[in-house]
Amino acid sequence: MNLKHGVDTTGVCPQIWYAAGVCKQLFTDRNYAFTITSMRDGVHSPHSKHYSGEAFDMRTRHLPPGVRSELFAKIKSALDPLGFDTVDEHDTKRHWHCEWDPKPGEKWLTYAP
């Protein structure tokens, strides 16, 4: 897993590491580098989950448009039902944001019978 220089990983919650691992694997399966550009660092909105270690941003500017849309759909499909929110920021830096924000019925872990 690649981290942009200066990314602060201090106190990042386990759920975010799980999500980052899923994203890394999906990028790698398509032969694209996966780089986290922000975790607890950077400037975000005042109530951003970045500050509590419950969010990360990933670089996407290197993805061709077709790969970009297909990969984003795969990530959302894999993570959002488990309690994550994945957002295409549609900014000039071209990045996606993922945060741990479970809604009713969304579970990251379940117990086997």
DSSP string, 19-79: HHHHHHHHHHHTT---EEEESS-S---TT-TTTTT-EEEEE-TTS-HHHHHHHHHHHHHHH
- Rounded to two decimals, the pTM is 0.90
Distance CA 74, CA 72 (A): 5
Question: In 3D, which of 55, 69, 60 has the Cα closest to residue 97?
Answer: 55
Low-confidence ranges of the chain (pLDDT < 50): none
Domain coordinates in residue numbering, the chain: 2-100
Q: What is the pLDDT of residues 54-79, one digit of tens each?
A: 999 999 999 998 899 999 999 999 99
Q: For 81, what's the count of Cα atoms within 13 Å in the CB-facing half-sphere?
A: 6
pLDDT of residue 92: 62
* Amino acid 36: pLDDT: 96
Class of domain 2-100: alpha beta
